[in-house]
Amino acid sequence: MGDRWVVNNVKDFLSRVDKYALKVRANGQAKGFIVIFYDLYCPGCALLDIDLMDYFMQLNQKGLVDVLFVDYPVHRVEKLHAKARVLFKRDPNEFLKTLNKVYSDMVERGVLTKDIPGVSDDEANGELQAVDECKRLAKTIKVPGTPTIMVGRYDRDTGVAIFGYDGPDSVMNLIREVIFEF
């Protein structure tokens, strides 16, 4: 498993990042949250998406968790992130499909996405500050890079974060331990 640490005062972090994160709200009152700090050129993020995004969305649709995407572009793709944010604001499902395509192209074809069709540079420029703010807020809880996942319950003021990705089992176990076990 990658680096793992406890994030204290997570409610404060969530309240500050809520303005900038791309949040897929659960159907109903969510018990917990999954925060994904991601980079569109991150190979580990790509594997995480391919392996686990359907699982995350199933938990979300069952009303168990909110899923938050926090931009953390370490590969100098801020404009691409800004364009993805525009898509999310138009239609979160379109964002998820595009995210999956970007990551599938990377893993299966070795292709890095250069642009997101249908989103202009002018539209993206309006989201660049939010991308920067997400990255700044991630650093306040010591996110070292991508992928980093933080999970927690809303009735507690701590979350647990892991940096790196070594397969779905460690992430699924973390979710089970932190959100569903007492």
Taking only the tens place, the pLDDT of each residue in 69-79 is 999 999 999 99
Distance between CA atoms of residues 130 and 20, nearest Å: 6
The total number of structural domains in the chain stands at 1
Q: Average pLDDT of 133-155? A: 97
Predicted TM-score (pTM) of this structure: 0.96
68-120 per-position pLDDT tens digit: 999 999 999 999 999 999 999 999 999 999 999 999 999 999 999 999 999 99
Q: Strands, E, within the chain: which ranges?
A: 3-8, 22-24, 32-38, 65-71, 148-153, 158-163
> What's the confidence (pLDDT) of residue 166?
92
Instruction: Show the domain range for 112.
Output: 3-180
pLDDT at 138 over 70: yes
Residue 41 belongs to a domain with what CATH number? 3.40.30.10
pLDDT band at 182 (very low <50, low <70, confident <90, very high): low
